[in-house]
Structure 1
Amino acid sequence: MTNRVVGLDLSMTATGVALPDGSTLTVKPKGSGDRRLIVLRDTLAYMVDGAELAVVEDMPARLQANAAKAIGFVHGTVRTLLQDLGVPYAVVPPATLKAYATGKGNADKTAMAIAALKRAELEFGDDNECDAAWLRWAGLDWLGRPEFSLPAAQRDRLAKATWPVPKGASS
């Protein structure tokens, strides 16, 4: 069994990525307007190609119009990339990810970082990388390969996301 799961915390300005080996990074596309979408797509393409599963944090429910437009474009670009590469993906609502990580659906960024330190003994360069790591861990957990144990109530929150049948799995 492989652990080729990636976590993606999408943003036009700073996308957090958790790679299959567990390392994390933040992609900050240069340029302006639609050019940043192309840079983000091209940068992520080699990182996600061949993954058995990508786990993407869904768009927040409440966004201002300009922010909603930008994040919508990012999600469309990345989801299309994943489909083109044949990488199945799950979309996890922000409150579900927070509840999975901390037990509370309204946890702040500090609580997410503390939970990562407590469970995985890891610190991250920024909150984008931390969220991406939690997305990857959620995917591994969903596949039955958790990197650490969590209370059952937290793990059960993953059922609130929509999960695809991963590559190579029987349906």
Structure 2
Amino acid sequence: MLVGGIDPSLTNTGMAVLDNGQPVYRHSYGEDGHKTDTTLIRNRRMRGLRRYIRDCFAPFDLDLLVIEGPSFGSRYGNPHERGGLYHAVIADFDVRKVPIAIIPPATRAMWATGRGNADKPEVFAEVKTWWPGVYVANHDVGDALVLAAMGTLWLGGELPFVEKGRHRNALESVEWPKGVKA
């Protein structure tokens, strides 16, 4: 069972794939923009990142893609552009007929740590305990691994840690694709 996770960001998108609960792909990529960038420059940057994400996942025949949904309360970055990237990535996987699940950011944090308001370093620290000896480059990759792990559990797969009540409970607030479940 192959489950992908994407933590979309213009500056550093986290990407991961789990094969039967084990990481087989972990990567992050993005570019810093500048306040003086024109709309056209920003659009080119977003299209390049979209293409990059699509190419990274091309070798994988995913059973499910799990993507972090919009953070409506975010005060940083450009929410308009982030939303454009989010919808473009969803469109690319939808065209490939990959089932897509949308995870709210607080649900990702709750699932990983037991606290919906856990910060990125807390989630990252927890993720690193799940696969000892597996290199996880940064919190963006860590978030992508959490998303892929959530999808793995939803599909009935096994993970390398003891499942807790929060893991099952948090799955109920996710927008899962119709007809995709263990």
TM-score bracket for the superposition, by shorter chain length:
0.7 to 0.9
The structural deviation recorded for 1:63 is 2.8
Q: Partners of 1:108 and 1:102 in 2: how far apart?
A: 10
> Which of 32-41 and 117-126 deviates more?
117-126
Counterpart of 2:8 in structure 1 is 10
Given candidates 70, 88, 97, the residue that maps to 2:81 is: 70
User: 1:51 aligns to what SS in structure 2?
Assistant: coil
1:58-92 CA deviation, whole Å, 9 max, x = no partner?
A: 11121348621011111111011111111110000
Contact 2:46 2:81 in 1 (8 A): no
Bigger mean CA offset, 113-122 vs 94-103: 113-122
Q: Does 1:41 align with 2:50?
A: yes
The structure 2 residue matched to 1:152, chosen from 153, 160, 165, is 165
Task: State the 1:129 CA deviation.
Answer: 0.4
Is the alpha carbon distance of 1:28 and 1:166 closer, same or farther for their aligned partners in structure 2, counting shifts above 3 Å?
farther
Contact 1:56 1:92 (8 Å CA) reproduced: yes
Deviations, residues 133-158 of structure 1 (Å, cap 9, x unaligned): 10011110111103132212332211
Count of residues in correspondence between the two structures: 167
CA distance change for structure 1 residues 53 and 72 in 2, over 3 Å: closer, same or farther?
A: same
Q: Which moved more, 1:147-156 or 1:26-35?
A: 26-35
C-alpha distance in 2, partners of 1:64/1:93? 16
Matched, 1:59 2:61: no
TM-score (normalizing by structure 1)? 0.86
| Deviation beyond 4 Å, 4+ runs, structure 1 | none
Q: Residue 89 of structure 1 aligns with which residue?
A: 100
> In the alignment, is residue 113 of structure 1 matched against residue 124 of structure 2?
yes
Within the alignment, does 1:161 sit opposite 2:170 as a pair? Answer: no
* TM-score normalised by length of structure 2: 0.82
- Contact kept? 1:29, 1:39, Cα under 8 Å: no
Q: CA deviation at 1:30?
A: 8.4
